[in-house]
Amino acid sequence: MDLESHPFFHALSDPTRIRCLALLHAHGDLCVCDLTRALDQSQPKISRHLALLRDVGVVQARREGVWMHYHVNRELPAWAKGVLDVALPAFSATPQGRADQLAWADKAERCSPGEVND
């Protein structure tokens, strides 16, 4: 995969994108609605940030019915994977990162193909 460093680091420069990436890094494949609930942000805002991360190549998406699921791109170059493997757990250890992880864990209601999102 050919990933340029400037767009990659720009993608990491936004707090909402870091928060999304930290949850994706820790929990793997997540639906947009899981992220909106855990981060207490609107669906359009989360989707906009995920679209930028996808366009840069940091995350990949798959559609399941009306739900979009995202995960950290498994084909990142070693240098980019190394940055994420250090930076995201470090962020998750901050007060905001711990709060996001707890909020995700407390959100027992997960999206599924049989649910209707609000």
- DSSP structure string for 28-73: -SEEHHHHHHHHT--HHHHHHHHHHHHHHTSEEEEEETTEEEEEE-
pLDDT class for 25, splitting at 50, 70, 90?
very high
Q: Are 31 and 23 in contact (CB under 8 A)?
A: no
CB atoms inside a 10 Å sphere around CB 27: 15
Residue identified by tokens 């929990």 is: 27
pLDDT at 20 over 70: yes
The residue that leads in pLDDT, 114 or 83, is: 83
pLDDT at 109 over 80: no
**Given this model, what pLDDT does residue 111 score?**
63
**Given this model, what pLDDT does residue 116 score?**
39
Q: Are 12 and 90 in contact (CB under 8 A)?
A: no
pLDDT class for 108, splitting at 50, 70, 90?
low
Domains and CATH numbers, the chain: 5-101 (1.10.10.10)
> How remote is the C-alpha of 50 from its chain's centroid?
7
